[in-house]
A = this chain, B = another copy of it.
Amino acid sequence: MHLNGYKINNPTLLARISHEEVEHLFRGYGWTPFFVEGSDYDSMHQAMAATVEQCVSDIRQAQRDARSSGVAARPRWPMIVLRTPKGWSAPAEVVGHRLEGSWRAHQVPMADVRKKPEQLALLEKWMRAQKPEELFDSNGRLIPELKELAPAGTRRMSANPHANGGLIKKPLRLPDFRGYGAKVDKPGQIEAENTRPLGAFLRDVMKSNMERFRVFGPDENTSNKLQDIYEVSKKFWIAEYFPEDADGGELATDGRVMEMLSEHTMEGMLEGYLLTGRHGFFSTYEAFVHVIDSMFNQHAKWLSICNNLSWREEIASLNLLITSTVWRQDHNGFTHQDPGFLDVVVNKSAAVTRIYLPPDVNCLLSVADHCLRSENYINVIVSDKQMHLQYMSMDAAIKHCTKGIGIWEWASSDKGDEPDLVMASAGDIPTQEALAATALLREEFPGLRIRYINVVDLFKLQPPTEHPHGLTDRDFDSLFTVDKPVIFNFHGYPWLIHRLAYRRTNHSNMHVRGYKEKGNINTPMELAINNEIDRFSLAIDAIDRTPKLQKIGAQAKERYRDLQIDCRNYAYEHGIDNPEIVNWRWPY
């Protein structure tokens, strides 16, 4: 029993809220409440039947009005407020304590029935008051005239196909995502807003699936650069419409974009939409996706149990785009820096959880296409919305995302040889910094053999016994070596990588950098330096960890430290990053 999040711990609370207050509350929320109240069964029975009749007829009238006028507006839907005593029909008192209408009706109402004959008699009297002899035949079966009252076939609540949404789900008609990509001739030369082309792709997904696809978000979709969607469908809006709304308001009564700054409301709507056989896409600010941690947990538990129920058909995956990420909170600052949702996700069943960190536009499109086609998963995609360097042509991106992890040969200098050092990254900004560190090292130490690895599918790091996407030890050892230093630049909290990879042969040589709660209102470079994921910290780390560099790297380390200080000073003075950093391009 809840009323706006208020459980009746003392279960007679509802009885204490005045009729007037309940009426105000629901009218304030736009409903028309009908009250059925009391404790006399026969009069309540009549009143309830009449009220349901009235409400159904009001609903039908609202539907007729909308259909005949062609104008969708917000009717004041009827709602029924039924108030009966807590534990209605129970004995008024048991051993001198109030039972019916009191909090005790929420507990075991008679605790000593086995030992105390007078309690057993009271229980029998209570049960007999239901008149079982009128309801069941001599074999204990429900009498036919009652049985007939129950609906048949798919009118039964449990057999309603909307309660097993996979039964009525139709696959999405998907346009070819390859048509939305960035043209990348050479890695690391041009920049693009990573989520913007995704918006164009989602627009066309929407256009081809106007009855089974919606986009949900607590933030303005425009803020997350997904605004191209509005070309085919607006924000759902059935309140008053002002003339100036036509100029950029993007509101429509038949809008398929659901926007409300309430993460949990959006998540709840999306879950209901998926469970009833439709498809959806959710985007949200990274730091605030923690608001739905608990809902995510329950949906993941539900999906994992469904995998064991043969009669439950597969539903569409829950697709979460985590954007406006920790590394680009240039004016929002510390409160908006929290990449910890991934730590919540990895605790849930490997059968239903997937995490992707596409480094650029083409990878993001390839991942998004895959997620929209999948079933029964929760897909978490981490991708920032700002301008970022582009690395992969569409063909290369598809191969990279299909493998989920791979060597970037163009960034590496180990050319088929055993590397001296492995540089790895997962996430957009960490990838840029790890590449820049690689470039610094290659320039400084031309003979150095660096292998560059990028991870898109985070669960590749776990053993295959723990997650179906896990790399075999043979593949992992071959990529990360069994004894060379690995510098891993990660988007989230660094310990997550250790947690996933602790069983790997070379784990003790893996040095992970990530977010360590060292933030403020920083420029991107300042924030990277504070948390040691910047190019200079990585290059210094590489020198410290690589035997052949330890003795010859002192001067380079000094220079990198000087450059770090230059970056900090520039940011402090100008409030933005040094143009050399902002305009950095991959030099090879």
Contacts and interface: CB of A to CB of B under 8 A. Distances in A.
A13 B240 CA distance: 9
A17 to B, nearest CB: 7
A384 to B, nearest CB: 19
20 contacts: A2-B261, A5-B261, A5-B262, A6-B260, A6-B261, A7-B260, A7-B261, A9-B259, A27-B28, A98-B244, A98-B247, A101-B244, A290-B294, A293-B294, A297-B338, A297-B340, A343-B347, A347-B493, A495-B502, A498-B499
A301 B335 contact: yes
A39 interface: no
A56 interface: no
A491 interface: no
Q: Could you say how many copies of this chain the assembly holds?
A: 2
Interface string A235-269: 10101101011011101000000011110010000
Interface in A93-112: 97-98, 101-104
A558 to B, nearest CB: 24
B28 A244 contact: no
A249 B499 contact: no
Contacts of A42: none
Nearest to A242: B12
Interface in A1-49: 2, 5-7, 9-10, 12-13, 15-17, 21-30
A21 B23 CA distance: 12
Interface string A320-357: 00000000000000110010100110111100000000
Contacts of A27: 21, 24, 28
A5 B470 CA distance: 40
Contacts of A104: 248
Interface of A: 2, 5-7, 9-10, 12-13, 15-17, 21-30, 97-98, 101-104, 218-220, 235, 237, 239-240, 242, 244-245, 247-249, 251, 259-262, 265, 287-288, 290-291, 293-294, 297-298, 301, 304-305, 334-335, 338, 340, 343-344, 346-349, 493, 495-496, 498-499, 502, 507-508, 517
Contacts of A23: 28
Contact of A301 (B102, B293, B349, B517): B517
B251 A10 contact: yes
Given A9-B219, A25-B25, A293-B294, 9 more contacts: A6-B261, A16-B242, A23-B28, A24-B24, A24-B25, A25-B28, A27-B28, A305-B334, A498-B502
